[in-house]
Structure formats: C-alpha cells, structure tokens
C-alpha cells in the first residue's frame, strides 16, 4: 500500500482552548472537499493523542494537567503523520473527554492530499513544526475563549461549571501563558477574532490550492 510519491499538504492550526480551531478547520474541510475530492482531505485533532490513562482511577485522571505538552503522545502523532505522508494509512485513537482516556477503538485514516491538524500545543513541538507546511495561530481574546469553554465543557464534555473554573485557573490559563502563547512566534498566519474570520479562511484555502499545485 506504500506510495512514496504521495503528495500530502499538512496545515497546522494552533491557539488557546476554545479559540475556534475546530470551527476554522471544519469550514476549510467542508469547502475544500468539493474541490480536492471527498477522500482527499481529512482533519486530525491533537486531542485524539492524549495519553491512554485507562490504568488510572477516575480521581487520578481528573488531576492530570491536560494543557502541558507531556499530556500528549506527540511521538504517535508524528509517527502517524509520517505514515500518511508516505502514503500509508494510520489508526487514529478515539479519545473520551468524559472518561479522560483513550477508548479501545481507533479510526483508520487513509492517505490524503490535504490534512488539517488542529490542537493547542502543535506549534510547541519542533518535530510537528517540521512536518507542517503552513501554520496558523488563532489569536482569539482569552475572555471569549473562556466563555466558550465554560458553555462547551458543561454541555458537551460532562463537566460542572465549578470544575471548569477550577481547571481554568489551575492549569488551562497558566499553560497557555507558558507554552501556547510563546508558540505563536512559529505561526505563518495569525488569525484575529476567531473561527468565522472569512478573509483568513479564504487566504488559507488559496494557499492550500497553491501548495497542491506546487
Ligand atoms: N481537556 C480536558 N480534559 C481532558 C482532555 C483535555 O479538559 N481529559 C482539555 C484541555 O484542558 C485543553 C482542551 O481540552 O485545554 C483542548 O481542547 P480544545 O482546544 O479546547 O478543543 P478543540 O475543539 O480542539 O478546539 P477549539 O475549542 O479551539 O475549537
């Protein structure tokens, strides 16, 4: 199945939690799908690569700092990206936010012409920066991110308002300041306001089209 001439463009979208990474990624995905073909574009979220914690109790899992680079298995993510670039499929782990661990199953991603990678800590890792062809940093104001995160984590990730506030103060905000914000220096494009920024979406789509032609 290996195809060493497989041409694959990887776009990396980083930024704070709830900054609109998944919105901009899914918009580009939907709009480019029609152009490059249904099976030629895919989205990988860094969250899928949170480490397996099935050996830990629920009380222990809750204590993990999920905003520190150590919480993520970037070795596996790099391995999968390298396989996809080489024209081989990758078995992407399935992660549960409410269980705080990997589920037993995986989903297979077949090689693509375009892979949109999104995640908070992507640009902190030189190996990932090296694999990414164009990088984006979502520069959404932190107060807007916090409001979105409170709503989302209660509605979709099985959290209470108190737990969201405590986690934000203890780890989410400090890790943003220590790791995520400084990684903005590695971005090719900095997107203000959020995932609905139409001009940013169009610029990215045009750039991807150019990379595909090159
Ligand atoms: N996280 C968590 N519990 C876990 C695993 C991760 O609370 N068991 C949180 C981390 O604190 C981290 C966040 O998940 O801050 C990463 O996801 P986020 O970037 O918020 O979600 P996306 O949908 O990928 O991005 P966006 O909200 O920007 O669209």
Q: pLDDT digits over 193-212, tens only? A: 999 999 999 999 999 998 88
Mean pLDDT of 142-157: 96
* pLDDT, position 6: 59
pLDDT score of 5 more than 70: no
Cα 45 to ligand 1 centroid, rounded to whole Å: 10
pLDDT score of 7 more than 90: no
Q: Which residue ranges are tagged as binding site for ATP?
A: 15-22
Cα dihedral 40/108/26/187 (nearest 10)? -90
User: Does ligand 1 have an atom closer than 6 angstroms to the CB of 29?
Assistant: no
pLDDT score of 167 more than 60: yes
Q: Is 4 exposed, middle or buried (0-12, 13-18, 19+ CB in 10 A)?
A: exposed
User: Does ligand 1 have an atom closer than 6 angstroms to the CB of 19?
Assistant: yes
User: Does ligand 1 have an atom closer than 6 angstroms to the CB of 97?
Assistant: yes
pLDDT score of 160 more than 90: yes
Cα 39 to ligand 1 centroid, rounded to whole Å: 27
Q: Which of 151, 140, 147, 137 is nearest to 185 (CA)?
A: 137
The angle formed by the CA atoms of residues 68, 8 and 74, to the nearest 5 degrees, is 20
User: Does ligand 1 have an atom closer than 6 angstroms to the CB of 180?
Assistant: no
Q: Which of 141, 111, 96 is nearest to 10 (CA)?
A: 111
The alpha carbons of the chain give a radius of gyration, in whole angstroms, of 17
Residue written as tokens 């936010």? Answer: 97
Q: How many distinct helices (H) and strands (E) make up the chain?
A: 8, 7
Q: Which two tokens stand for residue 62?
A: 């809750």
User: Does ligand 1 have an atom closer than 6 angstroms to the CB of 116?
Assistant: no
pLDDT score of 3 more than 50: no
* pLDDT, position 214: 77
pLDDT score of 4 more than 50: no
Cα 214 to ligand 1 centroid, rounded to whole Å: 34
- Interval 80-133: pLDDT, tens: 999 999 999 999 999 999 999 999 899 999 999 999 999 999 999 999 999 999
Cα 73 to ligand 1 centroid, rounded to whole Å: 15
- Interval 37-80: pLDDT, tens: 878 999 999 999 999 999 999 999 999 999 999 999 999 999 99
- Is 6 strand, coil or helix? coil
């Amino acid at each position: 199945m290996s195809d060493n001439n497989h041409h694959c463009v990887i776009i990396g979208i980083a930024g704070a939690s709830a900054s609109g990474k998944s919105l901009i990624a899914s918009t580009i995905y939907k709009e480019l799908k029609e152009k490059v073909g249904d099976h030629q574009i895919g989205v990988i979220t860094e969250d899928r690569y949170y480490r397996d914690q099935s050996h830990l109790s629920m009380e222990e899992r809750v204590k993990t700092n999920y905003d520190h680079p150590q919480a993520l298995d970037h070795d596996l993510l790099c391995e999968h990206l390298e396989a996809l670039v080489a024209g081989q499929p990758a078995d992407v782990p399935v992660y549960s936010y409410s269980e705080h661990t990997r589920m037993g199953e995986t989903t297979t991603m077949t090689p693509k012409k375009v892979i949109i990678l999104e995640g908070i800590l992507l640009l902190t890792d030189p190996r990932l920066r090296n694999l990414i062809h164009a990088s984006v940093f979502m520069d959404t104001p932190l107060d807007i991110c916090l409001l979105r995160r409170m709503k989302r984590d209660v509605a979709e990730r099985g959290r209470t308002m108190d737990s969201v506030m405590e986690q934000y103060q203890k780890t989410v905000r400090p890790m943003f300041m220590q790791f995520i914000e400084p990684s903005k220096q590695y971005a090719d494009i900095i997107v203000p306001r959020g995932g609905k920024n139409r001009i940013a979406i169009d610029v990215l789509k045009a750039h991807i089209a150019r990379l595909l032609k090159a």
